[in-house]
Structure 1
Amino acid sequence: MTEPIARLRNVVLDCPDPRALAEFYAAVIGGTIEEDGDWVDLVSPGRVKVSFQKVEGLRPPEWPRSDVNAQQVHLDLDAGRTDEEIDAAQEKVLALGATPLDLDDDNGRRDFRVYADPVGHPFCLCKIP
C-alpha cells in the first residue's frame, strides 16, 4: 500500500438550509450537530463527519439521469441484514421526508434501495452483507 497524500476530513453536502438537512441525517444515522453560521457539521457515533453548507439556488440531481445535473455524490448507509430491517428503515426515512427514487424492483435480489433526502441528494439504504 502506498503512503496516502491526504486524510478524509468529512463529506460536504450543499443545501439551502444546513440545519434542517443536518437534522434529517441526524435522525437517520445519529450523531451530534455542531453549527457555525451557514456551515453545520454532523458528527456520527463512529466519528465520521458529514457537513452541510448553505447554497442558494441549489438544483438537485435528477435520478437516474446522469446527463442532466449528475448525482454529484451520494451516501450508502447500512440499514440491516434482513428485508424486514430494510423495510423498517425505509418507513422511517420516508416519515422523515425522504423520497423513494429506485426501490428494489428486482424481487429482493438487490442489496440496496435509493432515496432522495429532503433537498434532493440521493442516498442508499443498503443491506449489510
Structure 2
Amino acid sequence: MEPVARFRSVVVDCPDPVALAGFYAAVVGGTPRVEEDDWVVLEAPGVPRLAFNRAPGYTPPEWPRADRNAQQFHLDLDAGSTWEEVDAAQERVLALGARPLDLEEGEDKDFRVFADPAGHPFCLCRIARP
C-alpha cells in the first residue's frame, strides 16, 4: 500500500525552544536552527528531525503518573552496549541539566529514565549485543 505521507519530524512543546534544542543537540548531535522565535529545528545525522515549539502555559508531564498530565511521549536513546557506557552517558546528561526519574537497574531492565530540562521523559538505553 502506498503511504499517505512521509515522516517529517517529532515536535516537542516546551517553554524555551532554543534552550531545549540546545540540550538535545548536546545529547544526540546536530546544530539547532532557529526558524522563528517560538520554533527551533534540530537535524542530526541518523536521528529523526526534532522540532521544538514554544507552548505558552506549558506544564511538564508527570512520570509515571497516568492520572494527571500524563506523559505524552518519550524518546529512547541508545547509550552504548555496556553499563559503563550508559553510566558515562548518564553523567553527561545530568551535567547538561537532565533530572533522574528512574535509575533502578534489574536483570530485565536495560534502560534508565530521565527528564529533560523541560520535564519530558527520555530513556538512556543499553543496546543488547548478540
Q: What is the TM-score with the length of structure 1 in the denominator?
A: 0.93
The 3-state SS of whatever aligns with 1:100 is: strand
Task: Show the counterpart of 1:54.
Answer: 54
What's the C-alpha RMSD, in Å, of the aligned pairs? 1.2
Q: CA deviation at 1:109?
A: 3.8
* Matched residue type, 2:17: P
1:100 and 2:100 aligned: yes
Segments of structure 2 that go 5 or more residues without pairing to the other structure are none
Task: Show the counterpart of 2:116.
Answer: 117
Which string of whole-angstrom CA distances, capped at 9 and with x for unpartnered residues, describes residues 31-80 of structure 1?
A: 12111121000001225210000011111111110111110011100010
Which string of whole-angstrom CA distances, capped at 9 and with x for unpartnered residues, describes residues 79-122 of structure 1?
A: 1000000000000000000000011332x541111100000000
Aligned-partner Cα distance in 1 for 2:53–2:27: 19
Question: Cα gap change, 1:94/1:47 in structure 2, threshold over 3 Å: closer, same or farther?
Answer: closer
Which range moved further: 84-93 or 65-74? 65-74
Aligned-partner Cα distance in 1 for 2:118–2:9: 19
The 3-state SS of whatever aligns with 1:20 is: helix
Percent identity between matched residues is 65
Q: What is the TM-score with the length of structure 2 in the denominator?
A: 0.92
Task: Show the counterpart of 1:77.
Answer: 77
1:32 and 2:31 aligned: yes
The 3-state SS of whatever aligns with 2:84 is: helix
* Matched residue type, 2:60: P
Segments of structure 1 that go 5 or more residues without pairing to the other structure are none
Aligned-partner Cα distance in 1 for 2:2–2:77: 28
Task: Show the counterpart of 2:42.
Answer: 42
